[in-house]
């Protein structure tokens, strides 16, 4: 006896459609060549409206510029252009008001806008796509979006720099250990350490600004890949959209995503710099260092250990770098094997860019908040600077400068004195003069003047050095340079 068919559970997923099965008529905007609709899975892999709706403002701006240019060139009627622009304004109002219905079957933001425009104004909507393609349309939209993201991120980095400069000026004379290999190396000031990040973020801003200059060419009018036979004015649309010039080659205009790569590369470098500062805050806030304290606004607790104060914001800034570096890697791999001109692979350029921009903006905002919030424990920093024989280089320099020893001999003698101090469990400044002279007979009592940590810091007056006077001057100049 055959088994009775089972009733599907109410929450069971629907069975997949057979291969090749469609879900309706062919797409009304491009389906003239096709007799049947695409398979359901084809619709899902082909559709980008789930993420490229973020380009709605740029898409509408580009379409309005294109319609006005077509009318001025006599390619479409002025009344049609006015109807198109008015319809596009209404669509933007609907999207921003949350009443616009995005449809997956219309694939992307361009076709969703165009279909709604046809509902609103009828036949004139069909004239908008004259002398353009979705290929140059999306390239233009994305350049506009990336340009705005670059401007916003550069501005956010400027704010972070100024919070760092404020803190650096306040701690121009706060002594702390400087490290190499995470080992105590030489004394520096906290202000000097923070200004190092001001320089890093200044270069990051420069990379973002350079990327903006290079991307500021307009693809609109390149059409699918070969240009158009219509007498369009690409200079006009470029000017209206704030570009410096039209892209010079129609194939490059639609196929190029260098500008996204350059944005992601600049974003990845900035994220790495943020991650390094985040790592330092994690270390500094730990009891093992105790150099800084974050307020409750930037710390979290543990679900099981009541004593914990975790620097989670700094840890998450550190982690965001992985996402942003991954976005760059993903797009590099997408692009590496693509022949000219356009291929649908380029649909995968947007999500990495959108995610990287959002992740970097959040990381910068969090770091800006932490820098303003954190309070330095000057006593803990000073105590740490007394450990690890970090004035040993000052001793070696004194042997060269005062006794005229070759540096290598001075280095060797200093190493022997450090070894002696370590064996005695004391600092260099606590060694007796006779003990020092047993290693290097020419040493005099004057040597003790260079073994104090504060004196070491004050002596580093070379350009870019850590002397407090240098740090105060550098902070003032940085405020001007990075205004």
Q: What's the alpha-carbon Rg for the chain, to the nearest Å?
A: 32
Whether 429 contacts 448, CB under 8 Å: yes
CA distances from 297 to 51, 281, 293, 365 (A): 33, 15, 11, 13
Token pair of 161 as six digits: 């720099």
pLDDT in tens, 377-393: 999 999 999 999 999 99
Confidence of residue 29 (pLDDT cuts 50, 70, 90): low
Q: Is 177 strand, coil or helix?
A: strand
For position 15, what pLDDT does the model report?
Answer: 37
Token pair of 32 as six digits: 């003239």
Average pLDDT, the chain: 92
- Per the rule left: phi > 0, alpha: psi between -120 and 50, beta: everything else, 254 is alpha
Q: Which of 74-78, 141-145, 175-179, 305-309 has the lowest mean pLDDT?
A: 305-309
CA 368 to chain centre: 14
What's the CA angle centered on 401, arms 397 and 403, to 5 degrees?
Answer: 105
Confidence of residue 14 (pLDDT cuts 50, 70, 90): very low
Q: Is 392 strand, coil or helix?
A: helix
Residue with tokens 């990287």: 356
Examine the pLDDT at 21 and tell me if it is beyond 60: no
Token pair of 409 as six digits: 């001999």
- Per the rule left: phi > 0, alpha: psi between -120 and 50, beta: everything else, 100 is beta
- How many Cβ atoms are within 10 Å of 342's Cβ, its own excluded? 20
Whether residue 181 lies in the annotated active site: yes
Whether residue 273 lies in the annotated active site: no
Phi, psi of 16 (to 5 degrees): -65, 145
For position 3, what pLDDT does the model report?
Answer: 41
Of residues 210, 208, 230, 209, the one with CA closest to residue 220:
230
Pairing of strands 375-376, 292-293: antiparallel
Token pair of 335 as six digits: 């692009």
pLDDT in tens, 359-374: 999 999 999 999 999 9
For position 9, what pLDDT does the model report?
Answer: 36
Of residues 264, 257, 259, the one with CA closest to residue 343:
257
CA distance 15 to 6: 14
For position 218, what pLDDT does the model report?
Answer: 98
Please pick, among 155, 286, 295, 302, the residue that the annotation labels catalytic. Answer: 302
Please pick, among 181, 229, 303, 462, the residue that the annotation labels catalytic. Answer: 181
């Amino acid at each position: 006896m055959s088994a009775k068919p089972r009733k599907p559970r109410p929450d069971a997923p629907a069975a997949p459609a057979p291969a090749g099965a469609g879900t309706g008529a062919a797409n009304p905007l491009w389906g003239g060549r096709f007799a049947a609709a695409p398979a359901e899975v084809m619709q899902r892999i082909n559709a980008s409206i789930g993420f490229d709706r973020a380009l709605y403002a740029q898409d509408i701006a580009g379409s309005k510029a294109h319609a006005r240019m077509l009318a001025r060139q006599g390619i479409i009627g002025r009344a049609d252009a006015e109807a198109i622009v008015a319809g596009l304004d209404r669509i933007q109002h609907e999207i921003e008001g949350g009443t616009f219905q995005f449809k997956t079957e219309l694939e992307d933001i361009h076709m969703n806008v165009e279909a709604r425009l046809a509902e609103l104004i009828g036949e004139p909507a069909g004239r908008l796509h004259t002398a353009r393609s979705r290929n140059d349309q999306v390239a233009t939209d994305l350049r506009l979006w990336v340009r705005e993201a670059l401007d916003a991120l550069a501005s956010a980095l400027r704010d972070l720099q100024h919070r760092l400069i404020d803190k650096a000026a306040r701690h121009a004379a706060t002594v702390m250990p400087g490290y190499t290999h995470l080992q105590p190396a030489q004394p520096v000031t906290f202000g000097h350490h923070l200004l190092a990040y001001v320089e890093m973020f200044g270069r990051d801003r420069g990379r973002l600004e350079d990327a903006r200059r290079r991307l500021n060419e307009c693809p609109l009018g390149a059409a699918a890949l070969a240009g158009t036979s219509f007498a369009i004015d690409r200079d006009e649309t470029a000017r209206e959209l704030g570009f410096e010039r039209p892209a010079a080659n129609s194939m490059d205009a639609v196929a190029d995503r260098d500008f996204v790569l350059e944005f992601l590369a600049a974003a990845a470098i900035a994220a790495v710099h943020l991650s390094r500062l985040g790592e330092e805050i994690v270390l500094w806030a730990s009891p093992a260092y105790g150099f800084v304290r974050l307020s409750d606004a930037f710390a979290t607790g543990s679900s099981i250990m009541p004593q914990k104060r975790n620097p989670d914001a700094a840890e998450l800034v550190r982690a965001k770098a992985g996402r942003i570096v991954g976005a760059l890697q993903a797009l590099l791999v997408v692009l590496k094997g693509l022949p000219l001109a356009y291929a649908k692979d380029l649909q995968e350029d947007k999500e990495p860019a959108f995610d990287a921009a959002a992740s970097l903006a959040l990381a910068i905002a969090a770091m800006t908040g932490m820098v303003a919030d954190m309070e330095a424990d000057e006593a803990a920093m000073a105590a740490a600077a007394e450990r690890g024989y970090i004035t040993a280089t000052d001793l070696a320099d004194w042997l060269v400068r005062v006794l005229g020893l070759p540096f290598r001999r001075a280095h060797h003698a200093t190493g022997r004195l450090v070894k002696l101090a370590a064996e005695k469990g004391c600092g260099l400044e606590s060694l007796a003069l006779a003990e020092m002279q047993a290693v290097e007979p020419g040493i005099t009592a004057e040597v003790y003047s260079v073994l104090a940590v504060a004196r070491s810091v004050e002596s580093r007056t070379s350009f870019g050095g850590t002397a407090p006077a240098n740090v105060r001057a550098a902070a003032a100049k940085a405020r001007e340079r990075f205004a």
